[in-house]
Amino acid sequence: MNKCIFLDRDGVLNRDKVDYVYKKEDHIILPGVVDALHNFKSAGYRLVIITNQSGIAKGLYTAADVMICYDLLQEACGGIIDGIYYASYHPDYNSECLTRKPYTLMFEKAIAKFDIDTAQSWMVGDKERDLVPARKLGIRTVHLQCDSHKYDADLTVFSLLEASEKILA
């Protein structure tokens, strides 16, 4: 079985915006992220992004835009990310969906595909809804704190680089 770092996207890998990140020029990778991804990869972790992209449901952008941003990140880190799962649903626009965080389906798909041992794995997110599904599945949680909100997590950090240093210590 494999160990995995599950990663929320906006606010963890790239700078978050008040509205949505879907244009190339708005996709700004946060400081230390590329180094952190390499640290995790060198330590044998799979890297999987799990992201809600309800802007697709709202008609603001398309799945192709999500993949363009993913390709930019892959380019920056040398293609070491193993996969991305995104939820294109929103209860107010198309449907309530078991894919969308805080539900667990995106995680479960990744766990099956990459044969992941949840007990050896971590989820890094900046919102409570990132951590809820991880707790349910027995994945350890890292809250990347980006404002005054504090959530119950196994680790609290202020950057992905700090998360890599603490997890790999």
Residues with catalytic function: 8, 10
Q: How many chain residues touch Mg ion (CB under 5 A)?
A: 4
What tokens appear for 147 in the block? Answer: 């404002």
Does position 65 bind Mg ion by CB under 5 A? no
Report the run of H or E that residue 74 belongs to, with start and end: helix 63-77
- Radius of gyration (C-alpha) of the chain in whole angstroms: 15
Report the residue number, 10 or 65, with the smaller CB distance to Mg ion: 10
Q: Does 11 bind Mg ion (CB under 5 A)?
A: yes
According to CB under 5 A, which residues from 28 to 57 bind Mg ion?
Answer: none
Name every residue whose Cβ is closer than 8 Å to that of residue 114 and which is 6 or more positions away in sequence. Answer: 2, 4, 46, 48, 82, 83
Q: Which of 4, 40, 99, 126 binds Mg ion (CB under 5 A)?
A: 126
Check binding of 133 to Mg ion (CB under 5 A): no
Q: Is 123 exposed, middle or buried (0-12, 13-18, 19+ CB in 10 A)?
A: buried
Nearest residue (beta carbon) to Mg ion: 11
Q: Which stretch binds Mg ion (CB under 5 A): 11-19, 39-47, 102-110, 156-164?
A: 11-19
Indicate the residue among 2 and 83 with the shorter CB distance to Mg ion: 83
CA neighbours closer than 13 Å in the CB half-sphere of residue 109: 14
Q: Which lies closer to Mg ion via its Cβ, residue 30 or residue 34?
A: 30
The whole-angstrom separation of Cα 15 and Cα 136 is 27
Site residues (CB under 5 A) for Mg ion? 8, 10-11, 126
